[in-house]
Amino acid sequence: ARALKAVTILYGLCAFGLVPHMVFLVDYVARGLERGLGEGALIWTLFGVGALIGPMATGRLADRIGFAAALRWVVAAEAAVVALLLLSAHPMVIAASAVIGGMLTPGLVPVTLGRVRELSGDGEAAKAAAWGKATAGFAVGQAIGAYLLAWVFDLRHDYHLLFQLAIAAPLLGLVLEMTAVRGARRRAREGA
């Protein structure tokens, strides 16, 4: 139960962390870097291309290494692609961040769904209820991220601060999830 709650929280924090790519990336390129709407539109197109292949790519990853490990890799990659934006404003770096960020946005869904189903026990009703809670967590995280990051940007006009918050949120969720899983394993060993 704790591991399932941790995955739900992780999913919400990942949604928070996706907001800068989904909402601010084009503005960052067009106005923040003063490259204009044409280059901003190109970056958004690259994000969309990534989104087309994301679920297939993360699904294959989960097939190979399992849902728990795939989810952790996807979350770490989400933080890393946002970190790229802090490291360089080179057009190729931003393009790579857009494509990979686009892949991870819908790609997060199948690995999280698989992990939730693994943790939610037997019975379709329990699995459906757990996925419903996780989906609600994602929606709350995304809404809070959109409002909070828009407010922070209005106050500070600092894209890099938004990117830093977007890195911190999923990494915090990852720590919570891994801690919950370790605790569950320890309790299982002590109970055995």
The pLDDT tens digits of the residues spanning 81-114 come to 999 999 999 999 999 999 999 999 999 999 999 9
How many Å from the N-terminal Cα to the C-terminal Cα in the chain? Answer: 18
Residue pair 98/47 in contact by the 8 Å Cβ criterion: yes
Dist CA 33 CA 186 (whole Å): 49
16-70: pLDDT as tens digits: 999 998 999 999 999 999 999 999 999 999 999 999 999 999 999 999 999 999 9
Residue pair 135/84 in contact by the 8 Å Cβ criterion: no
pLDDT, residue 147, reads 96
Q: 188 falls in which pLDDT band (50, 70, 90)?
A: confident
**DSSP for residue 120:** T
pTM confidence score = 0.93
Dist CA 26 CA 33 (whole Å): 10
